A and B are shown apart, each in its own frame.
Chain A
Amino acid sequence: MTEAMIFFLMGLMILGSIIALESKDLLSSVIAIGAVGFMLSVIFLLLRAPDIAIVQVVIEILTLIILIRVTISRDIHIIGDTREFLPFALNMVLLVIFFIIAAEAIRNMPAFGTGVSKVAFPYLSRGLNDTGSANIVTSVILDYRAYDTLGEATVLFTALIGAITILRREAKK
């Protein structure tokens, strides 16, 4: 049942992505990408990842705000959006080749829904005693792999400093 739901939602996600990329109006494509993100959040919920689902909703709203801020004030109607024929055909051939090779590689992976990696087992069995957190995801990001989170914060602030620097009105004397 869960898998059927995930399948259905993923089909809708692919459809929404195609609509977002092919729409003539920029604002409607941004709204389509918002729908795709919220469907992704529901899929995370079905996959028993409530933390990720909450974060995805928040991040999706922020992304929508940023993108709408860019597109709404500019009156743009795209007519010829896709590139010329020859690069387009070449791109499609390359994409199909990529898809076939990657699908072949994915076939050798363990089947969907089979168990937990070896790394995760000690976290699951000892997490409560080691860290005192009932939520194992929290204990992983804030205790076992806290350096990873520190690096993430570094990347985040670097990217934000870059954005602020680019958007600054005038250079410092």
Chain B
Amino acid sequence: MIYVMCLALFVVGLYGICCKKNLIKIILGFIIMDYAVNLFIILIGYRKNGIAPILDKTMDVNKFALSSVDPMPQAIVLTAIVIGLAVTALMVAVCVRIYERYGTFDITKIRKLKG
């Protein structure tokens, strides 16, 4: 059920990409999809009543391995979040150039080729 909520968030982002005319709104839809996918991967690695994957000095290693949440999705999402920021910055740069050339963010008005 909690996965379906995550999927709903993804679909909201997809709606923003499909149905919006404004370029900034499309970027916002992309960011929302990014959030939803990251959250979904972290949700898969969760264990009920788990602890964070950080060892304490007083803790037994075997007991820790049986009670910690999954560190793999966390490591992967850590890289994915940073890549998401870089991709967003690239898209925003393209949008700034388009705005300078056409004077609008509306994608239905950005049709004419200008050499």
Return chain A residues, CB-CB under 8 Å to B9.
10, 13-14, 17
Q: Hey, what's the 0/1 contact readout for A59-78 against B, CB within 8 Å counting as 1?
A: 10011001100110010101
The residue on A at minimum CB distance from B85 is A59
Which A residues, 91 to 148, have Cβ-Cβ distances below 8 Å to chain B?
A: 91-92, 94-95, 98-99, 102-103, 106, 109, 112-117, 119-121, 123-125, 127-128, 134-137, 140-141, 145, 148
Interface of A is mostly: helix
Kindly state whether residue A81 has any CB partner on chain B within 8 Å: yes
Return chain B residues, CB-CB under 8 Å to A95.
11, 14-15, 18
Q: Hey, what's the 0/1 contact readout for B43-72 against A, CB within 8 Å counting as 1?
A: 111111011111110000110110011111
Q: Hey, what's the 0/1 contact readout for A27-63 against B, CB within 8 Å counting as 1?
A: 0011001001100100110011111100110010011
A7 contact from B2, B18, B38, Cβ within 8 A: B2
How many angstroms between the C-alpha atoms of A63 and B83 in the bound complex?
12
How many angstroms between the C-alpha atoms of A140 and B37 in the bound complex?
20
A162 contact from B55, B84, B88, B93, Cβ within 8 A: B93
Given A59-B82, A112-B2, A136-B68, are A48 and B50 also a contact pair (CB < 8 Å)? yes
Return chain A residues, CB-CB under 8 Å to B74.
49, 51-52, 137, 140
Which B residues, 86 to 113, have Cβ-Cβ distances below 8 Å to chain A?
A: 86-90, 92-97, 99, 105, 108
The residue on B at minimum CB distance from A27 is B24
Return chain B residues, CB-CB under 8 Å to A88.
19
B52 contact from A49, A63, A94, Cβ within 8 A: A49
Q: Give the size category of A's interface with B.
A: 35 or more
Kindly state whether residue A163 has any CB partner on chain B within 8 Å: yes
Return chain A residues, CB-CB under 8 Å to B25.
21, 26, 29, 81
Given A21-B15, A36-B35, are A51 and B28 also a contact pair (CB < 8 Å)? no
Return chain B residues, CB-CB under 8 Å to A62.
85
How many angstroms between the C-alpha atoms of A104 and B9 in the bound complex?
16
B83 contact from A29, A92, A119, A156, Cβ within 8 A: A156
Contact yes or no, A21 B82, CB < 8 A: no
How many angstroms between the C-alpha atoms of A149 and B80 in the bound complex?
10
Pick 26 A–B contacts, CB within 8 A, sort by A: A7-B5, A17-B16, A21-B20, A36-B32, A40-B39, A44-B42, A47-B46, A48-B46, A52-B38, A55-B78, A59-B81, A59-B82, A66-B89, A74-B99, A92-B15, A92-B19, A95-B18, A109-B44, A115-B47, A120-B70, A124-B65, A127-B71, A128-B61, A137-B74, A166-B90, A167-B96
Q: Kindly list 11 other residue pairs between chains A and B, CB separation below 8 angstroms, not including A43-B39, A70-B95, A166-B94.
A: A7-B5, A20-B28, A21-B20, A49-B52, A52-B78, A59-B81, A88-B19, A135-B53, A137-B54, A140-B75, A163-B92
